[in-house]
Structure 1
Amino acid sequence: MFVRAYLRASTSEQDATRARAQLDAFAHERGLAIAAAYVENESGATLARPELFRLLKDCRPGDVLLIEQVDRLSRLTSDDWTKLRAEIDAKRVRIVALDLPTSWSLATPADEFTGRVFQAINGMLLDVLAAVARKDYDDRRRRQAQGQARAKAAGLYRGRQEDTKRNEGIAAMLKAGSPWSQIQAATGCSRSTLARIAKRVKAGLMQDAGH
């Protein structure tokens, strides 16, 4: 059995590794070691998360997927969560989340019967928390849209300011043929930002490449 940590933040401005110390401490208290950590800056509302699926590809039956909170794994719609759960279940991966105490025993199951019972309980609670995480995501986006609408009506909304210097550097690296993984590691940008800039570079609009 291997413990694989998954650490995610939504934007390149956020520190995806923030919870690493907590995950290390959790594993250490149970006499476990984290075999690998998979880190990415992508929205939890999308299935397009290369590091998460690399983790699942690396997993073997019985491995533990360790996360800080369930919303680090999913803010997905019901259909997309069903797809991800099917992938996880097919790999027979055990999800352990620090904010879901019923999952903790799955890191060190006492016996097969106990493990199966907690796996079933954990599965139901995961579905509930995934739904709550999605509702929170939708609620925040709705409040944000309402706030922007009010600001626009008052003539105060300016939109998100781009990091021009960083984006020019990303455009230069793309023109030089640097791999996307290398660019992300060097600049900390998200894959979606990189895709937008790549599209604009291809269209010859580097000076307009924004976040």
Structure 2
Amino acid sequence: MTIVRAYLRASTTDQDANRAKRQLQDFAEQHGFAIATYYSENASGSTLERPELMRLLSEAGAGDILLVEQIDRLARLNQDDWQQLKQLINAKGLKIVSPELPTSHALLNESQGFTSAVMQAVNGMLLDLLAATARKDYEDRRRRQVQGIEKAKQLGKFKGRQEDTKKQNAVKAMLKSGHSYNEIIESVSCSRALVAKVSKKIKEDQNSVAT
């Protein structure tokens, strides 16, 4: 029996890693599968230091599906790290499937033989291409960001990253009203990490007043 394990990732704590959950659910249902487990985290795709991804790899078995929204959710790694991740995935016998990669959809079926082998080979080449493209996009954006910051500094306009106080205030109000984390995440469109951050700040403020 094929087990589908969905991996969801966002780069920062201000982003919602679960944003693509509904899309992956719909994709799985369209292909006659149910997602068994979700692994969600806020971490950079440019590093292998991702606890939830490593947990997925440790829990997965041969033939399981590693489902991702896009390949860049899985990897924006340099070549060496991408090869290392692929070795870990291949050693576990996992199949990478993504809605954006039509050749991977055939891997949802347990068919064997020549056709299956060809599709896996083609899929592997496209995975390498998409991973390389994701890395280039990451490096290009980082370079533009550095250039933009340098120009802003020269003009005396650089203030650093600004927190979204409006969103934080909305989270704070809902927490004080007794809403659950899931209700807040859905209503405010924020990450669980942001809700936890605001909740911690509320408790710190309360403790400060008490003392």
- The alignment's TM-score, normalised by the length of structure 2, stands at 0.76
1:129-208 equivalences in 2 (<5 Å): 129-161=130-162, 188=193
Identity %: 57
> Are residues 124 and 187 of structure 1, via their aligned partners in 2, closer, same or farther at CA, if it must alter by over 3 Å?
closer
5+ residue gaps, structure 2: 169-190, 198-211
Show the counterpart of 1:125: 126
Show the counterpart of 1:20: 21
Length, aligned pairs only = 170
Counterpart secondary structure, 1:39: strand
Matched residues in 2 for 1:102 and 1:187: separation? 33
Matched residues in 2 for 1:110 and 1:90: separation? 20
Counterpart secondary structure, 1:62: coil
Q: Give the superposed CA RMSD.
A: 1.9
Show the counterpart of 1:88: 89
Matched residues in 2 for 1:98 and 1:163: separation? 31
What stretches of structure 1 move > 3 A for 4+ residues in a row? 109-112, 161-164
Counterpart secondary structure, 2:18: coil
Q: CA deviation at 1:110?
A: 3.4
Q: Once structures 1 and 2 are overlaid, which stretch shifts more, 31-40 or 106-115? A: 106-115
Q: Is the 8 A contact 1:30 1:108 kept in 2?
A: no
5+ residue gaps, structure 1: 167-185, 194-211
Show the counterpart of 1:47: 48
- 1:66-99: CA deviation from partner (whole Å, max 9, x where unpaired): 0000000000000100100000011110000111
Q: Is the 8 A contact 2:65 2:108 kept in 1?
A: yes
- The alignment's TM-score, normalised by the length of structure 1, stands at 0.76
Matched residues in 2 for 1:34 and 1:78: separation? 30
Q: CA deviation at 1:162?
A: 5.8
Q: Is the 8 A contact 2:16 2:192 kept in 1?
A: no
Q: Is the 8 A contact 1:77 1:134 kept in 2?
A: yes
Show the counterpart of 2:66: 65
